[in-house]
Amino acid sequence: MALTITCPICGKRNGYEFRYGGEDKGPRPEEAGLTPEAWCDYVHMNKCVAGVQKEWWFHKDGCGSWFTIHRDTTTNLEVKGPEADK
Partner 1 sequence: MVDIKRVSPVSFGKSPKRTEVRDNWTIAMEYDSEGQGLSIVDLSHVTRLDVQTGDLSGVTPFGVAIPEVPGQSVLKDGILINRMNGIQASVFQLPGNGADLPTDVFVTETTENTLCVAIMGKDVFSFMEKVSNLDFMDPKMTAPFLFQGPCCHVPCQIITLSKDGDKAGLILTCSRGYGKDMIHSLLDAGVEFNMKPAGEEKFSAWVASL
Residues that bind partner 1 (CB under 8 A): 9-10, 13-14, 17, 59-65
Closest C-alpha among 2, 18, 26 to residue 63: 18
CB of 11 or CB of 22, closer to partner 1: 11
Contacts of 29 (CB under 8 A, 6+ apart): 38, 39, 42
- Least Å distance, CB 9 to partner 1, is 5
Q: Which is nearer to partner 1, 52 or 78 (CB)?
A: 78
Q: Which helix (H) or strand (E) holds 4?
A: strand 4-7
With respect to partner 1, which residue has the nearer C-beta, 4 or 73?
4
**In the complex, least distance from residue 56 CB atom to partner 1, rounded to whole angstroms:** 17
Give least dist CB 48 to partner 1, A.
30
What would you measure as the largest C-alpha separation in the chain, in angstroms?
44
State the Cα–Cα distance between residues 62 and 42, nearest whole angstrom. Answer: 29
